[in-house]
Chains A and B, each alone.
Chain A
């Protein structure tokens, strides 16, 4: 296998690196899109069961072809550009939402070796890319030239910027504990003889909660979906979008959910490490953890009513930021004592 690869490498010469990188990108993006499609099905099924319904079950066995049918429907629909809209920005906005959601995957490690770019400043890169996601929302709201869309985008932008701060501080504690910004090294820092007791969610438990809830807020998921708020501002920033342009927003949101789940698993739940010492570490553990965190997202949506806007801002600024500031100091002091076991 390796000799075969090397012979191709020699044949292509200078063009090898871009082609090989493109192949790696495709190898991540295609399964990701599949995961997004089936996450929508899982969401409808899980929420259905929680509300004592069956969920989609008509298209294919157990509704397994439902996501394909939905995708086909969105592809066939006409993309309507409102007459007062700023056409160029209106088209760019959904692309700007999806782009950072996909770009972050470059540094996400799936196991000890499987990663596109093993970047030293991986955690910083994740934060920077996550902070770009807000542009899609703002530009979509502004370019639509609609009151509802604009109000939705303003709400959403304020929410995302606010929760980013708490999220950043949660990541600061992780990098203090791991003493590295490299996501692979962060997972390796959680390796130890005691399985899941070595993971960071134990010493950093408040940050684990803060990070996950901020992640839910960042992805505009219920109970923090005031950006959509269909009962107040009909659908928020993407009210004027239809067809594939709308589908791109949808893809971005779900890709971000999967991303937050991966990052939560990597930083707090030990990534690909096995929870018990007698079982081997494997990429399977990663997927199990991610599936669990994704289930939490769906569970939240089925359980909690939407936050009122002022309460949401209060939670971000007056609860999460003080908690995370204090925990940074606590972890810093704790690490100086001999009671730091991680």
Chain B
């Protein structure tokens, strides 16, 4: 077993343990943090396949942004765990069946001799830039699907913002542009007054 294999199995073990932690953790915050760990070690496995752009993008987008917002929500909600775990054992056989099916499919696809040839990671030279190659493909061959996906995401974002937008009348809000435009003369009047002589004439 080479050093490479040791690292792979280490990352794989951490990913599996963390993924199990996500479902068995009693505390939802712990579950979210386990998911973060699973993402990080999955990124490590991708890094081993020389897919450094995907690995770093996974950490940047999922760990750095999505999971932070997730944690945000989970921390502020008062989640009733007993209610959440209700019916766990009733649905367990069904879930186990689906999990078993997925494992079978994966072994079938990845374990066969034909796919073993295809799925072998290509080793590139040191100066090979994964990011550049991905960018070139995305912006030439797959430019329409890429742009389409971007537009769909934009529409979803606009829709989400539009859902939360409520215009209420009679609310006092700040008009920042007006605040910035204010000059000294609008608020302050300087009056020049001659000083009064003192009553005792001194």
Interface residues of A (CB under 8 A from B): 89, 119-121, 124-125, 127-128, 131-132, 134-135, 138-139, 142, 150, 154, 157-158, 161, 164, 181, 310, 314
Contact = CB atoms under 8 A, between A and B. Distances in A.
Interface stretch (B12-20, B99-107, B127-135, B147-155): B127-135
Interface stretch (B62-70, B113-121, B136-144, B194-202): B62-70
A125 B131 CA distance: 12
Nearest to B52: A121
A145 to B, nearest CB: 11
Contact of A138 (B63, B68, B128, B131): B68
Nearest to A175: B131
B57 interface: yes
Interface string B43-76: 0000000001100110110011100110110011
Given A150-B75, A154-B72, 16 more contacts: A119-B52, A120-B129, A120-B130, A121-B56, A121-B130, A121-B131, A124-B52, A124-B60, A125-B56, A131-B59, A131-B60, A142-B29, A142-B75, A157-B72, A161-B65, A164-B65
B182 to A, nearest CB: 15
Nearest to A138: B71
Contact of B33 (A127, A139, A154): A139
Interface residues of B, number: 25
Contact of B56 (A124, A158, A161, A310): A124
24 contacts: A89-B33, A119-B52, A120-B52, A120-B128, A120-B129, A124-B52, A124-B53, A127-B56, A127-B64, A128-B56, A131-B65, A132-B63, A132-B64, A134-B68, A135-B36, A138-B71, A138-B72, A150-B75, A154-B72, A154-B76, A157-B68, A164-B65, A181-B131, A314-B176
B43 to A, nearest CB: 8
B53 A121 contact: yes
Given A120-B129, A121-B53, A134 B64 contact: yes
Contacts of A164: 64-65
A270 B154 CA distance: 36
A72 B32 CA distance: 37
A131 B56 contact: no
Contacts of A181: 129, 131
B68 A161 contact: yes
Nearest to B36: A135
Contacts of B128: 120
A121 B54 CA distance: 11
B59 A128 contact: yes
A13 to B, nearest CB: 13
Contact of A131 (B52, B64, B75, B129): B64
A121 B46 CA distance: 14
Contact of B69 (A142, A150, A161, A314): A161
Pick from B64, B68, B128 the residue with the most CB of A within 10 Å.
Answer: B64
Contacts of B69: 161
Contacts of B127: 120
Nearest to B63: A132
Contacts of B174: 310
Contacts of A89: 29, 33
